[in-house]
Amino acid sequence: MTNKLTTLTLAALLGTAAVPAMAQSKGDFTLGFGVHSVTPDSSDSVTAVGRIDVDANIRPTLTAEYFLADNLGVELLVAWPFEHDINLVGTGEVAKTKHLPPTLSLQYHFANRSSFTPFVGAGVNYTYFFDDRGVGPLAGTAVDLDNSWGFALHAGLDYAISERGSLRVDMRYIDIETDVKIGGAPVGKVKIDPWVFGVAYVHKF
């Protein structure tokens, strides 16, 4: 039994090793189709009306990356609009908002002879807020969130499933901070600062 288990284990390892790594060369272009969860860390957001907490949300995403050099690419992340419930701690939900978070990053993919290729990146994010509205105690009251510029960090791992395709798991930290107005009056800044976790299929052209 032990010999059989050893043989099966070695066969599985050799099978994994046989999957070609998806090499990234200058001039390559990839598209990634996935889903990501934006999980805000708004614990430090204390405004004139109290402490604010922002809920998480999951949406489909698309990434496009062009390789400026071997293993070095520039990537654009776009997504279906995320929608968040905004809660006033101790009161409950007081507002909703939607946002688009296009993020441009410079990324380095580590050279790797196995099927796994890790990468890291850093860049800039622009968050466009829209359809802000008050609900519950603020129903009918104008709520406005300013658009935001901030830095973004990115890390992930690609697993090659073919010569041109791979499965990806990744995470990002995005610096998002917005000035908030209620009824036209400024009430302070809300730090959303989300962690973004995702999975995707990435195809090289």
Rounded distance between C-alpha atoms, residue 188 and residue 180, angstroms: 6
Instruction: For domain 2-204, say whether CATH 2.40.160.20 is its number.
Output: yes
What values do phi and psi take at 14, rounded to 5?
A: -65, -35
What confidence tens digit (pLDDT) does each residue in 41-93 have? 866 676 777 788 889 999 999 999 999 999 999 999 999 999 999 888 888 88
Kindly tell me the sign of the dihedral angle through the C-alpha atoms of 198, 55, 44, 103. positive
Q: Say what the pLDDT of residue 90 is.
A: 84
Residue with tokens 């690609």: 158
**Domain extent listing, the chain:** 2-204
The tokens for 170 are: 């990744």
Angle made by CA atoms 58, 128, 199, in degrees to the nearest 5: 25
Question: H or E stretch including 14?
Answer: helix 2-18
pTM of the model: 0.83
